[in-house]
């Protein structure tokens, strides 16, 4: 069980995730570069990790907390995979452009 203030906090966090999803719908229209889509996906996954981590900390029921802990771990794994893909894409772009070893700002 969670208290009212904790429930409200989770509700607000979920609304933030929902707003991020709406923003993603507006940002992804079909003509984006792969890097842009990966950035949006990273934002969504990060929001989900934050939501589930916060829920896991606020929930007093041990089994429910374990569910949120597992969900957060799954989202963290997704986040790491997306970050790896994004890093590989950037590395490939640097190699293609011949800027290996040069900082791009």
Residues 48, 73: contact at Cβ < 8 Å? no
Residue 44 reports pLDDT greater than 60: yes
Residue 102 forms part of a structural domain? no
Residue 34 forms part of a structural domain? yes
Residues 49, 76: contact at Cβ < 8 Å? yes
The model's pTM is 0.68
Q: Give the total residue count for the chain.
A: 105
Helix (H) or strand (E) segment spanning residue 60: none
Residue 105 forms part of a structural domain? no
Give the number of domains in the chain: 1
Q: Using one digit for the tens of pLDDT, what is the confidence trace for 83-100?
A: 999 999 988 888 888 866
Q: Using one digit for the tens of pLDDT, what is the confidence trace for 47-77?
A: 889 989 988 988 888 888 898 899 999 999 9
Q: Which domain holds residue 80?
A: 4-97
Residue 46 forms part of a structural domain? yes
Residue 103 forms part of a structural domain? no
Residues 80, 29: contact at Cβ < 8 Å? no
């Amino acid at each position: 069980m969670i208290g009212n203030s904790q429930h409200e906090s989770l509700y607000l966090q979920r609304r933030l995730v929902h707003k991020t999803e709406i923003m993603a719908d507006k940002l992804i229209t079909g003509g984006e570069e792969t890097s842009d889509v990966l950035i949006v996906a990273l934002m969504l996954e990060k929001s989900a990790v934050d939501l589930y981590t916060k829920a896991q900390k606020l929930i007093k029921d041990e089994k429910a907390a374990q569910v949120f802990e597992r969900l957060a771990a799954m989202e963290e794994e997704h986040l790491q995979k997306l970050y790896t893909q994004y890093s590989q894409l950037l590395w490939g772009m640097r190699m293609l452009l011949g800027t290996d070893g040069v900082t791009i700002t």
